[in-house]
Structure 1
Amino acid sequence: MTTRRSFLTKGAIAGAATLAAPVVARAQDAPIKWRMQTYAGSALGEQVVKPAVDMFNRIAAGQMEIELFYADQLVPTAELFRAMQSGTIDCVQSDDDSMASPTEVTVFGGYFPLGLRYSLDVPALFNKYGLKAIWEEEYAKVGVKHISAGAWDPCHFATKDPINSLADLQGKRVFTFPTAGRFLTRFGVVPVTLPWEDIEVAMQTGELDGIAWSGITEVYTVGWSNVTNYFLTNNISGAWIGHFFANMDRWNELPPHLQELVAVCFEQSHYYRQHWYWAGEADLRVNGPKLQLTTIPDAEWATVETAAQEFWDEIAAESETKAKVVAIIKQYNDVQVKAGRPYRYT
């Protein structure tokens, strides 16, 4: 009869043998390789995407590798969507607006005028107010997987000459996003489209008078603080909406655990950007050595806020989907205002 002592002894020996057996985790013979291009140039990309890609490649441990390319390295930014849709590029980090997405939600990508005040508004709108489902549906229609959305910095003017009133914007040639440019023409701004890497030279040659592309963190990080003198504290929007996308066929070919790993690493990237920008915006306003701050008085800036509401209504009239998104943005902001501090206050 097996005694309790012998059972435990034999069980322990068997268990020890099992634990001692080496576990061999061999990477597959042909790792999956993706090519990914970001809207960001190399200096900015070091912060806003490279850490997440490096993290993914380490954790994937040879099963999959993402090769990262910066702005315009494979295709011009305005052709990113088409290149991803066709499979020339597997994955993209961009806003909808910059990559010329042919969807109903494109106008809301980048900086939708005065629709957001803080970076946390973006994940709240996508995850709690239904924008995520709308984006997923719109991109699935055109063969693209919308992986996730996140916030970047607010949008401010960085200029050669000081901006102290709306009148100072008249005739200024400004590099900005398509939708932001469309809105800013109401105040005499002349939007200019150029390759991202040409902006610094265009400021030096006088082709541009200013940049409305980012917050102050990015102005310093990419070197634009070397060719501008002033930073306007009033912002066009409180946060940029950017996304990670993938070619739908490439996404569907991934095993579930790699799909989840891609999503988790990109979500971590969104979180990293939130605190990197949030800290940088305040610190560089106070301690940045190169740019002088200017402000348009609140009473005058209220004209811009009123014009933004009118702009939203114009956008809503263009399609049912756009109307649905505008209604959500209005509902969200109404709740924030009624909630009071710290959500919204004058």
Structure 2
Amino acid sequence: MTDRRKFLKGAGMAGVAAGASALAAPAVHAQSKIKWRMQTYAGPALAEHVIKPAIDSFNKVAGDEMEIELFFADQLVPTGELFRAMQKGTIDAVQSDDDSMASPTEVTVFGGYFPFASRYSLDVPVLFNQYGLGEIWDSEYSKVGVKWLSAGAWDPCHFATKDPIRSLEDMKGKRVFTFPTAGRFLTQFGVIPVTLPWEDIEVAVQTGELDGIAWSGITEDYTVGWADVTNYFLTNNISGAWAGSFFANMDRYNELPDHLKELLKLTMDSSHYYRQWWYWGGEAHLRTKGTKMELTSIPDEEWAQVEAAAVKFWDEIAAESETKAKVVQIFKDYNATMEKAGRPYRYG
């Protein structure tokens, strides 16, 4: 009987302790799903290639932990207001170039198509990952409370026009939809840059508000419908690859657990890789097999004037600030290396 009392007493005390422990432990709740809103610079047809496959993959892998809702060009805010909206937290992430979304940074001018900064799409990731542009971009965006995530290449910049361009003289007076910095450069050749919402471009060409487009390569011209309203494609380009990036609201990014940050990185790498082969193959295929636009060219000796003007333009930009001068010097060093390396990096 004594032993039984001791047992019951011990069991009772253990039960009380267990109960007290249970009461003291915090309640465990299922973590709510993280939801981001991301807007791309691209319209629906183009986004099907440049961003949507990657985001679909991210959402599939993230499962119940996180979802990125994708919005297309100007769907939530105009492209020119993307930076401010992301900085304020109205949207959580952006895919765009610095130039189009009017970033208030020293590197904004180099986003999109900085004249002749690259010749091939592979130049862009090499410049960011091996020549120091990534560190500069990260620093510049951190100063304004935005997380720069990753940069990659898109297509080269060509003119698609209603009337043919076969000389520099033919460029004069052309009202062209293009990027801010590219437009600033092209004005010296008589081009009139025009800024319009992305989805209005096709109609603007049809109505005569625009004479052409210098916003992409031939792959996009076919993909988004511009090849249906323009007649000619100029094979000379002012840049070998558009440079764009992924960005995020700094606070929202910092809130992510490390494994979701890593998944986001893998997703962006996947997006960059898709564009590398999609554009590279698409440009060649549509130049040789496309039926909607006639190809025209400006003779090399005449086009050399444009390339020479780009070198002067670089120096003008470099004189504006120490950071810009640093970026321009990287471009110069890189291109000098490519020229010295020779084939297949550069051909004359």
- Establish whether TM, by shorter chain, passes 0.5: yes
Structure 1 match to 2:307: 305
Alpha-carbon displacement from aligned partner over 1:48-70 (angstroms, at most 9, x marks no partner): 00001000000101100000000
TM-score, normalising length: structure 1:
0.92
Structure 2 match to 1:229: 231
1:28 Cα deviation after fit:
4.5
Output the CA distance in 1 between the equivalents of 2:216 and 2:102.
Answer: 19
1:119 Cα deviation after fit:
0.2
| Alignment size in residue pairs | 320
Task: After TM superposition, list the pairs within 5 Å mapping 1:89-168 onto structure 2.
Answer: 89-168=91-170
Give yes or no for the alignment of 1:182 onto 2:184.
yes
Task: After TM superposition, list the pairs within 5 Å mapping 1:189-338 onto structure 2.
Answer: 189-338=191-340
Aligned partner of 1:247: which letter? N
1:292 Cα deviation after fit:
0.3
Alpha-carbon displacement from aligned partner over 1:71-93 (angstroms, at most 9, x marks no partner): 00000000000000000000000
Alpha-carbon displacement from aligned partner over 1:212-243 (angstroms, at most 9, x marks no partner): 00000000000000100000000010000000
1:29 Cα deviation after fit:
4.1
Output the CA distance in 1 between the equivalents of 2:64 and 2:214.
Answer: 41
1:136 Cα deviation after fit:
0.2
Larger C-alpha radius of gyration, 1 or 2? 2
Output the CA distance in 2 between the equivalents of 1:160 and 1:258.
Answer: 47
Structure 2 match to 1:77: 79
1:30 Cα deviation after fit:
1.2
Output the CA distance in 2 between the equivalents of 1:165 and 1:114.
Answer: 19
| Secondary structure class of the residue paired with 1:73 | coil
Output the CA distance in 1 between the equivalents of 2:246 and 2:304.
Answer: 34
| Secondary structure class of the residue paired with 2:70 | strand
TM-score, normalising length: structure 2:
0.91
Output the CA distance in 2 between the equivalents of 1:70 and 1:54.
Answer: 14
Alpha-carbon displacement from aligned partner over 1:154-210 (angstroms, at most 9, x marks no partner): 000000000000000000000000000000001000000000000000000000000
Output the CA distance in 1 between the equivalents of 2:232 and 2:36.
Answer: 41
Structure 1 match to 2:69: 67
Q: Does the CA-based 8 Å contact 1:146-1:244 persist in structure 2?
A: yes
1:289 Cα deviation after fit:
1.0
Structure 1 match to 2:7: none
Output the CA distance in 2 between the equivalents of 1:333 and 1:213.
Answer: 23
| Secondary structure class of the residue paired with 1:305 | helix
1:267 Cα deviation after fit:
1.1
Structure 1 match to 2:24: none
Q: Does the CA-based 8 Å contact 1:28-1:62 persist in structure 2?
A: no
Give yes or no for the alignment of 1:339 onto 2:327.
no
Q: Does the CA-based 8 Å contact 1:116-1:122 persist in structure 2?
A: yes
Aligned partner of 1:234: which letter? N
Structure 1 match to 2:171: 169
Return structure 1 stretches of 4+ with deviation > 4 angstroms. none
Structure 1 match to 2:38: 36
Output the CA distance in 1 between the equivalents of 2:247 and 2:31.
Answer: 27
Aligned partner of 1:226: which letter? D
Aligned partner of 1:174: which letter? V
Q: RMSD over aligned Cα, in angstroms?
A: 0.8
Aligned partner of 2:198: which letter? W
Q: Does the CA-based 8 Å contact 1:203-1:210 persist in structure 2?
A: yes
Output the CA distance in 2 between the equivalents of 1:54 and 1:91.
Answer: 15
Output the CA distance in 1 between the equivalents of 2:81 and 2:61.
Answer: 31
Output the CA distance in 2 between the equivalents of 1:258 and 1:223.
Answer: 36
Output the CA distance in 2 between the equivalents of 1:242 and 1:124.
Answer: 14
- Which of 53, 56, 74 is the matching residue for 1:54? 56
1:345 Cα deviation after fit:
1.2
Output the CA distance in 2 between the equivalents of 1:126 and 1:173.
Answer: 33
Q: Gaps spanning 5+ residues in structure 1: where?
A: 1-26
Output the CA distance in 2 between the equivalents of 1:187 and 1:62.
Answer: 54
1:245 Cα deviation after fit:
0.2
Q: Does the CA-based 8 Å contact 1:176-1:213 persist in structure 2?
A: yes
